[in-house]
Amino acid sequence: MRQIKYFEAVNEAQYQSLEGDPSVLLMGLGVPGPTGIFGTTSGLVDKFGDNRVLDMPSSEQGMTGVALGMTIAGYRPVMIHMRVDFATLAMDQMVNQVAKWHFMYGGKMRAPMVFRMIIGRGWGQGPQHSQSLQAWFSHIPGFKVIMPTTAYDAKGMLISAIKDDAPVVVFEHRWLYGITGEVPEAPYEVELGKAAVMREGKDITIAATSYMALEALKAADDLATLGIQAEVIDIRSLVPLDTETIFRSVKKTGALIVADTGTTDFGVSAEIVSKVVERDCSILKKSPKRIGLPFCPSPTSPALAEDFFPRSVDISYAAADILGFERSRLPPEAETGGRWHDTPDPSFTGPY
Amino acid sequence: MRQIKYFEAVNEAQYQSLEGDPSVLLMGLGVPGPTGIFGTTSGLVDKFGDNRVLDMPSSEQGMTGVALGMTIAGYRPVMIHMRVDFATLAMDQMVNQVAKWHFMYGGKMRAPMVFRMIIGRGWGQGPQHSQSLQAWFSHIPGFKVIMPTTAYDAKGMLISAIKDDAPVVVFEHRWLYGITGEVPEAPYEVELGKAAVMREGKDITIAATSYMALEALKAADDLATLGIQAEVIDIRSLVPLDTETIFRSVKKTGALIVADTGTTDFGVSAEIVSKVVERDCSILKKSPKRIGLPFCPSPTSPALAEDFFPRSVDISYAAADILGFERSRLPPEAETGGRWHDTPDPSFTGPY
Amino acid sequence: MPQIENLSSPVTNLSADDRLAMHFSMLRVRRVEEGIAARYSEQEMRCPTHFCVGQEAVPVGISAHLTPYDYVFSGHRSHGHYLAKGGDLKAKLCELYGKEAGCARGRGGSQHLIDLEAGFVASAPILAGTLPIAVGAVYGSSKTNPERISVVYFGDGATEEGAFHEAMNFAAVKNLPVVFVCENNLYSVHSDFSVRQPPGRSIAKLGPAHGIKSQTADGNDIVTVWNLGQEAVLRARSGDGPTLLEFMTYRWLEHCGPNDDAALKYRTKEEISAWQSKCPIVRSDVALRRDGLLTNDLLKDFERKISEEIETAFEYAKSMPFPDPADLMTFTLPEKA
Amino acid sequence: MPQIENLSSPVTNLSADDRLAMHFSMLRVRRVEEGIAARYSEQEMRCPTHFCVGQEAVPVGISAHLTPYDYVFSGHRSHGHYLAKGGDLKAKLCELYGKEAGCARGRGGSQHLIDLEAGFVASAPILAGTLPIAVGAVYGSSKTNPERISVVYFGDGATEEGAFHEAMNFAAVKNLPVVFVCENNLYSVHSDFSVRQPPGRSIAKLGPAHGIKSQTADGNDIVTVWNLGQEAVLRARSGDGPTLLEFMTYRWLEHCGPNDDAALKYRTKEEISAWQSKCPIVRSDVALRRDGLLTNDLLKDFERKISEEIETAFEYAKSMPFPDPADLMTFTLPEKA
Ligand SMILES: Cc1ncc(C[n+]2csc(CCOP(=O)(O)OP(=O)(O)O)c2C)c(N)n1
Ligand SMILES: Cc1ncc(C[n+]2csc(CCOP(=O)(O)OP(=O)(O)O)c2C)c(N)n1
Ligand SMILES: [Mg+2]
Ligand SMILES: [Mg+2]
């Protein structure tokens, strides 16, 4: 099948959505601009015009309200934030209005909106430009929250999100944009709310979000060299959360690692651990572990960022600790070519 | 010892802080006004003047920045939001600036601020006026987050918070304001970061936040009629979280219920469950349960709010389910005098 | 009996019928508020309720220029805006009683009134929250329906929120048919204007900064409101962009709830009674009688009609069923349309 | 060689020494930026960096009126503001290199410069984020130190954030000694003014709405900047309240990073070179020579001093150690003071 990059898949999803439904439009700072939100919106303004692919003032709060207002006139806006950190300015509109819009008017209103939130890591983005706030939105009833990992899902889930009448918050990790996957040319939908088993295994379950799912696959490779078969689950959707798939896996393996791009404490992996143990804590033969950002703001210096953003080794070390073998038995971490791990792992080329 | 109400304890903490330290000031919409934020600021403007007890424009975002700016000039502002929902407008300043202020300038700056966030329930506050967003702040490194339950802690923890050089977010439940406790007259501090065992027991641990701790005590009473000894832990502080106290209790009881005032999903109880099982999941003899708000916005109609806000019966039912006895064996819920449970439980008078 | 300080401004192209209809509408808004107030202590309307007694002229004078097709948005103090735009009374009262037949099926209460058929699109209590929504709605609709306009009501306090400026800026960028209507009643809850806005501030000064035509005027004079409303609505309909109108008015009752609040002393008794003497309904009454349009009989007729409607509506609302508790989660996420 | 379109405006009470000092300061800011740009591709300064080449006159002309005691705040494009206020060059370069000796101990990078001794209090990239902070700082300090003022720099894009208005409103309510300095370089990243702000908008129109004295002027003419800066700073120091200054200027390089970006085509080559022909440093150079104040020798002397300082600073920064990874969590919560 055709292989394209994640950013191209996102672009195509929007292209086809704009083409297929005149009520769809994109908006955000720089959306029609020359760098096209990391290429994800490049060319769209030329095809669909600046009435449907629109730039906006840097008024995140107000423009979220404007986008919500447009739904009243029948539009389905996709609002794009270059960094989720900027969406903190729009929290009132998102949380008090958008998320509750359908409920608080007794079902008479709908907010068919999509928020594309870009998250990332590395290269000195620093404290105000590299948060990963999926836990916030997942905590607010009224949103769907998704984190596509593969190019295939990036396209299919975004098309589904745009068609969905609920407001859907999509988290896209910048480091996924350059990664390839098999993506059909025709439009297609991927159902929201289902996790995907990326790799089967019987010894330990690694459930992960977004870029961390690729780190998990790499960890699974490393574990396989020791004969350990890790099952890797791409969580894909936080709300609705596919507890069933994760639970079934843990029931089989008896061991669980949850890896997320955000801060661990009070983060999404806590919910996943809780959902599992609440249902039946006896299926866990070993204590579970969570991998995520440590409890400090994101440092800029590469020397500090190095230990701040977890990598596959952190996952395989956690597996070693859970399964009770020496970390030193794991293969050594590959050279990156550079001194730091603050650019995308060059071995993650895809296709995934 | 002297007994006063929770709101009086909050008032006294601020009075004594204003008196003891000229750099302390209070600000917020209506803070010096005639109703004094449910009485918690009444009279303070008369004593300390409107330069230290100040009203402000309804510019939550900007005024949070103003308050942060005042710390540069040596002040220790206490910002008060009548409802945490209004703080959503200030998320950028709180999360991007205040929480990271110390870290992102390499320790050169400090943000000794307190945010008093009022939460509540009942009486038709509805979707935009009854959220309980402690999970959000707890997820952001840089804040301390506390939820005092008793009048004693309301005073002592607020005094500690005001003296703390970290930004501290205090959640106060409106339904606690009228409840009495023993409160010394002299100023005193209660260390932040410690849970409190409110009632000892050996059969099940109920860890709860804020008003839910009182519901837990009532549930413990009901369970006691069946000879079940519940240990009730008032969590008090979410960041830092006193995992030790909770873990020790669960190790003893083997059973855990976490009850919180907020939405359960992706909420603070998930973190507490996870901290316990991550440390040693084998101590749980039964699957734990979480009690909190169901995953929908807060409805206004009393007929819907009735089942939305959990009460002690929900906790004791959960205990019945965990411990494996019939719910029907529990004593029936007491009459409230009214049709609905949307006003404070009249049996919760204190002293606690 | 309070003194009438100001009579109505000169009547221009306003017909006698329209003047009477507006009088009726103001009276109806007032009587509904009084009806709610009278029953509020029964504690069956269990939600925070912001009364608009004293402020009836603004919504009535503005709504006179609107069709059900036009969009109206409001905030927490929305009762008058809703009724004047033609919002259904029974559905509103059911909403206050938390009933399934409420305009928001009981989910929203007093602060979330809605009547899509009347073009009363949404109200919500977060200050300035509906301003950008009103702008966005008409930005969307103006692409295909240039004749539709959007009106959004808000208080003086709401203008302190940055979102107010963000909404005005975007309305100006796109030159949208929006009328921003500020009811400046001098207070935000109990806080005086002076602790919130700079000396000499008129809200109407904030519009021109964004290139928006703006005016401040007596909001207790129905004819003044009607005149300015006409101009602003015409400007919007003819594609000449947004307007900001500031109407000076006064809230008679407490910020939230049905009672007098003179005891709180954040405003003087003198101030309250001075403003009560500028009652928009009394002033309209006097002017209509002066012009020979209103008689005691006609007024009695108005009152009777209104009171019958209100009684019936309350009986209806009280009799209707509550939402089914089993439906608690129902509208969290929408079903497929 | 670009044409010089505008010469400097008439020199008022500005001394020859001050003019030369400002020329030196602009040159220094420019050369430091060039020094960073020249080394940026080594990929050792691993953080997003917003260059201010072309915009040097504003910070230099404003800082001339400030003492280290005054507060200065900035946003993402802060390099010039930092250096002109007296921020330490070595500490800045260490910060860009992520070193422990950085002004923010490497935690912040280019977007979080700070030098408390110089009174450069804080910079941070969230648009308009530091505006209310600047207001609050001087609100606090003015209670005891009425002579201290606060200056905050921001771009045209930042004025679209509601927080800009919230900050201005409060500064006006309290009549605070704040100078709001907008560097209007016509773009927000690659977005043209017209998609963001209404036609005919001058940022300087936004101040008077809040009762704030405002002016717009040529931001590439150091003397103009100095003159307006003097007036605004004097107003602040004498208790006459805030000022909003809008300076028209232009960013020569790409939004973020050290390169030319004509290839992106969001602005024309003609526009870029027209603005380059208004280079603030060349204009100052011409005017100083015209007035017999600058000679080739003196300039050579300036350049030599600057280049020595820069070379030493880069060597220093490169040689200094990184933060200890064990200190990752250190500043999350403060130790007891
Ligand atoms: C963002 C936000 N902050 C605070 C409140 C609390 N609040 C409710 S009504 C109100 C007063 C608003 O005053 P104004 O806008 O003048 O309207 P009025 O009540 O006078 O009609 C306030 C502060 C709120 N609803 N939303
Ligand atoms: C709240 C917020 N939204 C978006 C951004 C992304 N951003 C960084 S710089 C910038 C351009 C700002 O333009 P302007 O204020 O004119 O400053 P300039 O870069 O032109 O100096 C934008 C949009 C941000 N930093 N903060
Ligand atoms: Mg008001
Ligand atoms: Mg700019």
Give A73-104 pLDDT, tens digit per residue. 999 999 999 999 999 999 999 999 999 999 99
Please give the residue of chain C at the shortest CA–CA distance from B124. C47
For an interface test with B, give the residue of D166, D169, D174, D322 to mutate (most B CBs within 10 A): D166
Flag if B288 and A277 touch (Cβ within 8 Å). yes
Q: How far apart are CA C70 and CA C56, in angstroms?
A: 20
Extract the tokens encoding A162: 């745009």
Which has the closest alpha carbon to A146: A166, A120, A175?
A166
Answer yes or no: is pLDDT of A338 > 90: no
Atom of ligand 2 nearest to the CA of A29: 23
List the one residue out of B151, B240, B152, B148 whose CA is nearest residue B188.
B152
Among residues 141-160 of chain C, which lie with CB inside 8 Å of chain D?
160
- Confirm or reject contact between B59 and chain C (CB < 8 A): yes
Q: Touching check for D189 and chain A: CB below 8 Å? A: yes
Ligand sitting nearest the alpha carbon of A84 = 2
Show the tokens assigned to B198: 């409110």
Look at residue A218 and tell me whether its pLDDT is greater than 60: yes
Query: Is the distance from CB of D81 to CB of B82 less than 8 angstroms?
Result: no
Residue recorded with tokens 């409001």: C74
What one-letter code names the amino acid at A222? D
Helix (H, G, I), strand (E, B) or coil at C246: strand
User: Per-residue pLDDT for C6 more than 70?
Assistant: no
Q: What are the tens digits of pLDDT across the range C149-161?
A: 999 999 999 999 9
From first to last of the 337 residues of chain D, give the pLDDT tens digit: 334 444 456 667 899 999 999 999 999 999 999 999 999 999 999 999 999 999 999 999 999 999 999 999 999 999 999 999 999 999 999 999 999 999 999 999 999 999 999 999 999 999 999 999 999 999 999 989 989 999 999 999 999 999 999 999 999 999 999 999 999 999 999 999 999 999 989 999 999 999 999 999 999 999 999 999 999 999 999 999 999 999 999 999 999 999 999 999 999 999 999 999 999 999 999 999 999 999 999 999 999 999 999 999 999 999 999 999 999 999 999 998 7
The amino acid at residue D335 is E
Residues A171, A210: contact at Cβ < 8 Å? yes
Q: Give the C-alpha separation, D324 to B243, whole Å.
A: 28
Taking the C-alpha atoms of residue A197 and residue A233, their distance in angstroms, rounded to an integer, is 4
Q: Rounded distance, CA B11 to CA B18, Å? A: 11
The tens digit of pLDDT for each residue in A107-122 reads: 999 999 999 999 999 8
With CA atoms as reference, the chain D residue closest to A294 would be D329
pLDDT of residue C11: 64
Which residues on A lie below 8 Å from B270 (Cβ)? 266, 270-271, 273-274
pLDDT tens per residue across span B98-149: 999 999 999 999 999 999 999 999 889 999 999 999 999 999 999 999 999 9
In 3D space, the residue among C161, B209, C132, B255 whose CA is nearest the CA of residue A281 turns out to be B255
In this complex, is the C-beta atom of A293 within 8 Å of any C-beta atom belonging to chain C?
no
Q: How far is the CA of C156 from the centre of ligand 1 (A)?
A: 9
d(CA A119, CA C330): 32
**For residue D36, how many C-alpha atoms fall within 13 Å in the half-sphere facing its CB?**
30
With beta carbons less than 8 A apart as the criterion, state whether D162 and B92 touch.
no
Identify the helix (H) or strand (E) that includes residue B294: none
Q: Which stretch of DSSP H or E encloses residue C9? A: none
For C129-142, letters b (16+ CB in 10 Å) and e give bbbbbbbbbbbbbb
Which residue in the set D47, D189, D332 is minimally distant from A126, CB to CB? Answer: D47
Interface with C, mutate which of D160, D161, D165, D216 (most C CBs under 10 A)? D165
- For residues D288 and D27, give the distance between their C-alpha atoms in angstroms, rounded to a whole number: 13
3-state secondary structure of B204: strand
Q: What is the mean pLDDT of residues C63-78?
A: 98
**What digits encode the pLDDT tens for the residues A185-214?**
999 999 999 999 999 999 999 999 999 999
Q: Indicate the residue of A57, A102, A144 with minimum beta-carbon distance to C169.
A: A57
- The whole-angstrom separation of Cα A125 and Cα B252 is 45
* Sign for the pseudo-dihedral over CA of A132, A138, A144, A146: positive
- The closest residue, in CA terms, to atom 11 on ligand 2 is D188
Q: Which of A30, A127, A304 minimises the CB distance to D189? A: A30
| Contact B43/C at CB under 8 A | no
Contacts of A147 by beta carbon, 8 Å cutoff, 6+ apart: A134, A170, A171, A172, A173, A209, A210, A235, A236, A237, A238, A261
User: Which of chain B's residues have a Cβ under 8 Å away from the Cβ of A287?
Assistant: 277-282
pLDDT > 90 in chain C, percent: 94
- What confidence tens digit (pLDDT) does each residue in C191-205 have? 999 999 999 899 999
- For B104, the closest of D108, D140, D163 (CB atoms) is D108
pLDDT at residue C324 tops 60: yes
- Chain B CB within 8 Å of residue D158 CB: no
Spatial contact of C90 and C120, defined as CB atoms under 8 Å apart: no
Question: Are the beta carbons of A7 and A177 closer than 8 angstroms?
Answer: yes
Reading the block at residue D236, the tokens are 């602040």
**What is the pLDDT of chain C when averaged over all its residues?**
96
Distance (Å) of CA D68 to CA C252, D86, D120, D222 = 52, 8, 8, 21
CA distance A207 to A268: 11
ipTM of the complex: 0.98
CA angle C269, C273, C278 (to 5 degrees): 155
CB A341 within 8 A of CB A121: no
Q: Which residues in chain B are closer than 8 Å to A305, comparing Cβ atoms?
A: none
What's the one-letter identity of residue B220? A
Partners of chain D (3+ Cβ pairs below 8 A): A, B, C
Q: d(Cα A284, Cα A258) in Å, to the nearest integer?
A: 13
CA dist B41 and C254 (Å) reads: 20
Establish whether B60 is a catalytic residue: yes
Count other Cβ atoms within 10 Å, centred on residue D319: 11
Q: Where do runs of H (alpha helix) occur along chain A?
A: 6-20, 44-48, 60-72, 84-87, 91, 101-104, 134-138, 151-163, 211-224, 243-253, 268-280, 302-308, 312-323
Across the interface, whether the CB atoms of D205 and C209 are under 8 A apart is answered yes
Predicted pLDDT of residue B123: 87
Catalytic residue among B8, B12, B19, B60: B60
- CB within 8 A of A49, min separation 6: which ones? none
Q: According to the model, what pLDDT value does residue D9 have?
A: 61
Q: How much is the pLDDT for C9?
A: 61
Best of B56, B66, B94 to substitute, by most chain D Cβ atoms within 10 angstroms, is B66
- pLDDT of A31 > 60? The answer is yes
Residues C62, C249: contact at Cβ < 8 Å? Answer: no
Measured in Å, residue B91 CA sits from the centre of ligand 1 at 19
| b/e C108-120 (16+ beta carbons within 10 angstroms → b) | bbbbbbbbbebbb
Distance CA C320, CA C302 (A): 27
The answer, yes or no, to whether any atom of ligand 1 lies below 6 A from the CB of C54, is: no
Q: What pLDDT was estimated at residue C143? A: 86
Q: Strand D187-188 relative to strand C120-123: parallel, antiparallel, unpaired?
A: unpaired
pLDDT at res. D11:
65
Q: Give backbone dihedrals phi and psi of B144, rounded to 5 degrees, phi first.
A: -100, 145
> Looking at the complex, does the CB of residue B56 fall below 8 Å from at least one CB of chain C?
yes
What are the tokens at C78? 């929305």
Given a cut of 50, is residue C2 above it in pLDDT?
Answer: no
Q: Which parts of B61-110 are beta strand (E)? A: 76-81
**Is residue C178 helix, strand or coil?**
strand
As a whole number of Å, the CA-based R_g of chain A is 20
Q: What confidence tens digit (pLDDT) does each residue in D24-55 have?
A: 999 999 999 999 999 999 999 999 999 999 99
> Which residue CA neighbors atom 18 of ligand 2 most closely?
D155
